[in-house]
Structure 1
Amino acid sequence: MDPTDTQKKQPDQDKEKMSNVKKQPRVSLEFRNLAESYQVVINDICQKMGHGMAEFLEKKVNSVQEWEKVWSRYAKKLSDLAKPENIDLAVHCLNELITNALQHIPDVLTYLSQLRNQSVFNFCAIPQVMAIATLAACYNNQQVFRGRVKIRKGQAVTLMMEATNMPAVKAIMYQYMEEIYQRIPSSDPSSSKTKQIISSVRKQNLPSCQLVSRNHYSPIYLSCAMLLVALSWQYLSTMSQATEEYVQTGEH
């Protein structure tokens, strides 16, 4: 990798870090305003996320091993996928990883269809629609290996506002899966599997669910949701940076 590329990225990374630091007091304030029972739950989740990040960096979890099984079929070293001459192989690897993620959508939809509390449904559905939007943005996208690919903040807000019932969530899921389906290249090694998974989700029949609103819980769940979204955003940013540094280290 050209050292000048790293130098160009550094100001943006520093700016993002400073932005996260400035937001920290808001997160802490929201956390302290929650009831102790909710603080205990969030604290437990954060500890597990922290342990997960540590295990990821130490390469001791099964998901990393499975991840390595995928990329090792396309390159001898992970850093090889960042080389321009290997861009086609890198995209094939990316598409296979995304295809593996798509196969969990039926279970996600089945789980969401069983929820009855409106606040709980919103809390669980929002991360899922944001995830499928991110997968669609990354699928078959060479830019993933040239910079950062994220969904727009406005797009994220729209998803959070719309993912309030099962028909809406299914529509969002189908919309982004259709975007992926339309971009499946015939030359991609995972193309058949990707098409098969998307087709099976299209045919999935789910029972209609009647959501019950619990207005007196909504502010609490909303605070928890916003706090976890902020923590998840920080987590994903950290993981993205760690992966990028890992790739760069592998080149030396």
Structure 2
Amino acid sequence: MEFRALINFAIWRDTRDISDANELSTTFYDRPSMKKCYEYLDFTSRSFSRVIKELEGDLARTITLFYLVLRALDTVEDDMTIPNSVKLPLLRSFHEKLYEPGWTFQDSQEKDKIVLQEFNNIQYEFSTLKPEYQAVIADITKKMGAGMADFAALATPEQPVAEVDSIQDYDLYCHYVAGLVGEGLSGLFAASGKERSFIADQLTLSNSMGLLLQKTNIFRDIHEDVIEGRGFWPKAIWGKYGFNSMKELIDPSKKEQALWASSEMVLDALRHATDALDYMTLLRCQSVFNFVAIPAVMAIATLERTFMNEKILQGNVKIRKGETVRLILRSTNPRDVAYIFREYARKIHAKVHKDDPNLLKLSIACSKIEQWAEHHYPSFITVSAGSSGGASSAIDPSSNDARAILFTSLAKEAQDRARKEKTDKFMADLKARGVIKERSPEEEAEIKRKYDAMDKEGVPVLMIFGVIVGVLALMAALGGIVIWVVLKYFGDE
């Protein structure tokens, strides 16, 4: 199935070509500085590059620049060679660099340093955006830079990256680096007119979208982060399993305790799943929905693949490319995305070990996803493509679900009631136009009396005899006519 998905994706998938002449009015790919920005996007993120470029209209260009600005900010934060005396002021003032033509930063040693070394191209393109776009990007950059600086200030020479202690601190850190991205994207969606204006006000749901993705990445990248001296798992989780530092998590002799800690990390990430599903039900633009849904289904699939998987303590674990493509092809509407979440929640639940300290909590977390999907998109209702290009729904006749039986009964009662109301309305109209005369109660009673009398008396014998004789006489007459016609016109022959 994954191989077939790869073939279908390669042959039939419609993709937006940002370099096409018909797209240049919104992508500005023909402008050297903007073309450079698209190249930076490809270099710094292969996963987001494709979905960003497929956004409609000017959103592809706008969110490319939004991503690059935040990537540049994140590069400053991640670079351990930049001393705090330089890093902290730069993080807090980075939003001001958006309005400084020609500004660049040449002292980074990070792999994505090009976005700082050639930030002048990003800044110039930012200056050409609509003012409402600029306002959203600058505001998010200011908030994110301040939050990153607060956490970076906690670092010491002995511990270059400050550990996250409590779950509250973990949520706050993820809010600064990812939740704010969700808020910014919602603001840009609304400002573009592609989504309704109230999307910009969905701060809690937008934040949860970002946290689901960020916590998945933090969980998956444990080995790489520990090796490079970073530590984002909260001490409140790994500390309760007997670890004194995050470095001990990748110690093979403590594998079992590390897996219990990893189990709780997945549990913490899953609490954002239903908020993410709620957010996606609010979206109306197809390309925006795809942009949001694809990373979300990748996150839930990654959580399932890495859950109770000791390989994450030894290296990077990813979902297969064929599975990725299959998820992309399936993620076209909220219902199918909800079923994907449900599918992977069931797989996670099936992998929970009976000795897992988080057994009950994980069961509840997975059941919440199941409950959400079943409540919003009941499994006994089938959806199929309509003849006019839309969709139609019906109750699955083979379902044994008690709700299906009840729903069918209620639907029949509603149909009968509608039919009766239609008949009554028709009769009332005929009476109003005089086609049917209204009878008085006395007349109705008289008619009823006559019919009752006829029922009691039965059908008279003479009447029955008369009907029979009449039918026989009619048949004899018809027979006589036929004989006369034959003799008249065919007698000589």
Q: Which band: TM-score by shorter chain?
A: 0.5 to 0.7
Rounded Cα–Cα distance in structure 2 between residues aligned with 1:135 and 1:66: 15
Q: Which moved more, 1:134-143 or 1:112-121?
A: 112-121
Q: Which has the larger radius of gyration?
A: 2
Residue number among 41, 53, 65 corresponding to 2:63 in the alignment: 41
Rounded Cα–Cα distance in structure 1 between residues aligned with 2:289 and 2:58: 22
> How far apart are 1:142 and its partner, in Å?
0.9
Structure 2 partner of 1:72: 239
Structure 2 partner of 1:81: 249
- The within-5 A match list for 1:207-222 is none
User: Is residue 81–residue 87 contact of structure 1 (8 Å, CA) maintained in 2?
Assistant: yes
Structure 2 partner of 1:145: 313
Residues 35-54 of structure 1 show CA distances to partners (whole Å, capped at 9, x for unaligned) of: 77643432222322443465
User: Is residue 102–residue 197 contact of structure 1 (8 Å, CA) maintained in 2?
Assistant: yes
Residue number among 106, 123, 128 corresponding to 2:274 in the alignment: 106
RMSD: 3.2
- The within-5 A match list for 1:120-135 is 120-135=288-303
Give the TM-score taking structure 1 as reference length: 0.64
* Greater fraction helix: 1
- The within-5 A match list for 1:19-58 is 27=42, 38-52=60-74, 54-55=76-77, 58=152
**Percent same amino acid among aligned pairs?**
29
> How far apart are 1:153 and its partner, in Å?
1.0
Q: Which moved more, 1:49-58 or 1:170-179?
A: 49-58
Amino acid at match of 2:376: L
Amino acid at match of 1:146: Q
Rounded Cα–Cα distance in structure 2 between residues aligned with 1:67 and 1:78: 9
Residue number among 164, 176, 180 corresponding to 2:344 in the alignment: 176
Rounded Cα–Cα distance in structure 1 between residues aligned with 2:319 and 2:302: 6
Change in 2 beyond 3 A, CA 1:66/1:94: closer
Where do 5+ consecutive residues of structure 1 fail to align? 1-22, 209-252
Where do 5+ consecutive residues of structure 2 fail to align? 1-37, 44-48, 80-151, 153-160, 174-231, 379-493
Q: How many correspondences in the alignment?
A: 186
Give the TM-score taking structure 2 as reference length: 0.34
Rounded Cα–Cα distance in structure 2 between residues aligned with 1:104 and 1:25: 31
Change in 2 beyond 3 A, CA 1:25/1:107: closer
Other structure's SS at 1:203 match: helix
User: Is residue 113–residue 207 contact of structure 1 (8 Å, CA) maintained in 2?
Assistant: no
Change in 2 beyond 3 A, CA 1:118/1:37: closer
User: Is residue 137–residue 151 contact of structure 1 (8 Å, CA) maintained in 2?
Assistant: yes
User: Is residue 113–residue 206 contact of structure 1 (8 Å, CA) maintained in 2?
Assistant: no
Change in 2 beyond 3 A, CA 1:146/1:37: closer
Other structure's SS at 1:73 match: helix
Amino acid at match of 1:68: K
> How far apart are 1:24 and its partner, in Å?
5.3
